[in-house]
Amino acid sequence: MKQSNSTPTNQMNVSKCLLIFFAFLISFLLHLLLFSTAPMVDLIMDEMKLSHTAFGFIFSIAMVSLVILRIPWGFLSDKFGYVTVLRASLPLITIPAIVRSFSDTYLTFLISQFLLGIGLASILPCLPLIIKEWNPEQTGLGTGVYVSGFALGNGTALGLTPYLLEMMPWRLVLRLYALVAVVTTLLWWSLAKSTYQGKDQFALDAFTDILQHKYIWVLTSLMIACMGCYDTLATWMPKVLELKTQPKYPAVLLSIGFLLGGPTTGAVSDEFPSKSILVGFLGVAAVVSIIGIAYTVHILLMICIFLASFFITGILTLTLEAPAKLPRFSLAAGKVSGIISSLGNIGPVALPVSFGFLIDYTGTYHSSLFMVAMVAFVIFILGASMWENA
């Protein structure tokens, strides 16, 4: 009798472990494939005779399809369930990832990047559904785990790729990363199972009802600030360190803060009753850390860089957790995640450009960092004050 009782329990435990493993692996894959071309800029430009603008389109074209299609993928994930959706979308990720590694022309590369974005767009709407089934009582920790997958994928793409390029051609590096997509697809098709049954309907009025929720716009604002502030710091930190006549290596602390901030904040969130207080604390701490970057040097500067990333990622984790946590969105978590993550890209588009403009206009990085701190302060504090009421 004991054996017969323990077998279903053991199977359930294995199934739950697979869910959190897949959430981490798929989020890792998203940032690995999306950012892996960044260290190859000179090699691809030289071989294909591209301008900087033309190379910029290689990244931008993937972002265009990714941003536009996150909301439709959200509809599909709510309707058919995340297992079915990812069974369809993972091959749509794998095939373009392989094709781009064999691209001989710029047009082929652009098309493969666009198609890659179509598949990658499905990931964020599905992740909250995976976490919700993994453990509805620990959605904070689960969200933090997959956020750390983003960080590790980003770190691998930007950190490991330059070393691999010293040992092999850039196309071979892309094939190596495409192999990760192949393995992920095979594992998903072989092992992924779910008791979740999609119940939501394709209803335009349901979509408009979601948009009328004040809470959606609170979450969207927080996503804009989190994504915009982090991407701006990540883009400009090496230049800021150069202007401060500091070594550039402390910029890697942004990635470390990104990696640790998600699971830590997620675990705290599961035990902390008031999310508004937690968002407010993290927001103030992030603002102080960003301002600290402007005025500190050496070890204090390194601490400020790490903490700024850590606290911003903490708020990002709380924001991404909300669709899986709140009962009001229980049948629409995919759509909500698609909406806030799609609109959240306003931040990464606008803030880095504004940061560079202020450096050109003022001749110093101080006003640029104050701009980022001000955006963080206004949106994080307003978001915290409206979190419960919304």
Span 172-190, average pLDDT: 97
Rounded distance between C-alpha atoms, residue 74 and residue 332, angstroms: 8
**Is the pLDDT at 2 greater than 60, yes or no?**
no
Confidence at residue 252, expressed as pLDDT on a 0 to 100 scale = 86
Examine residue 44 and state whether it is found in any structural domain, yes or no.
yes
Confidence at residue 30, expressed as pLDDT on a 0 to 100 scale = 94
Same domain, 334 and 239: yes
Q: Which residue has the higher pLDDT, 3 or 156?
A: 156
Same domain, 107 and 218: no
**Is the pLDDT at 253 greater than 60, yes or no?**
yes
Last residue of one domain, picked from the residues 191, 220, 249: 191
**Is the pLDDT at 189 greater than 50, yes or no?**
yes
Confidence at residue 48, expressed as pLDDT on a 0 to 100 scale = 92
Last residue of one domain, picked from the residues 191, 223, 247: 191
Confidence at residue 13, expressed as pLDDT on a 0 to 100 scale = 66
Q: Residue 90: which domain range?
A: 2-191
Q: Which of the four pLDDT bands, split at 50, 70 and 90, describes residue 199?
A: low
Q: Which of the four pLDDT bands, split at 50, 70 and 90, describes residue 159?
A: confident
Examine residue 268 and state whether it is found in any structural domain, yes or no.
yes
Instruction: Indicate the number of domains in the chain.
Output: 2
Same domain, 135 and 258: no
98: domain CATH number? 1.20.1250.20
**Is the pLDDT at 4 greater than 60, yes or no?**
no
**Is the pLDDT at 203 greater than 60, yes or no?**
no
Rounded distance between C-alpha atoms, residue 115 and residue 100, angstroms: 10
Rounded distance between C-alpha atoms, residue 251 and residue 84, angstroms: 39
**Is the pLDDT at 327 greater than 50, yes or no?**
yes
**Is the pLDDT at 375 greater than 50, yes or no?**
yes
Same domain, 104 and 209: no
Q: Which of the four pLDDT bands, split at 50, 70 and 90, describes residue 84?
A: very high
Same domain, 109 and 218: no
Three-point CA angle 267, 272, 276, nearest 5°: 115
Examine residue 100 and state whether it is found in any structural domain, yes or no.
yes
* Single pTM value for the model: 0.87
Examine residue 180 and state whether it is found in any structural domain, yes or no.
yes
Between the alpha carbon of residue 271 and those of residues 266, 278, 324, 365, the distances in Å are: 9, 11, 16, 39
Q: Is the dihedral of CA 186, 190, 196, 201 positive or negative?
A: positive
Q: Which of 350, 333, 295, 303 is nearest to 124 (CA)?
A: 333
Same domain, 62 and 208: no
The answer to whether 311 and 176 are in contact (CB under 8 A) is no
Same domain, 358 and 211: yes
The answer to whether 234 and 353 are in contact (CB under 8 A) is no
Confidence at residue 1, expressed as pLDDT on a 0 to 100 scale = 39
**Is the pLDDT at 32 greater than 90, yes or no?**
yes
Examine residue 197 and state whether it is found in any structural domain, yes or no.
no
Terminal alpha carbon distance of the chain: 50
The answer to whether 85 and 77 are in contact (CB under 8 A) is yes
Q: 């739950």: which residue's tokens?
A: 16
Same domain, 311 and 370: yes
Same domain, 182 and 213: no
Same domain, 176 and 215: no
Examine residue 258 and state whether it is found in any structural domain, yes or no.
yes
Confidence at residue 3, expressed as pLDDT on a 0 to 100 scale = 46
Q: Which amino acid is at 251?
A: A
Same domain, 186 and 253: no
Q: Which of the four pLDDT bands, split at 50, 70 and 90, describes residue 275?
A: confident
Span 176-190, average pLDDT: 97
Examine residue 198 and state whether it is found in any structural domain, yes or no.
no
The answer to whether 345 and 227 are in contact (CB under 8 A) is yes
* Residues of the chain above pLDDT 70, percent: 92
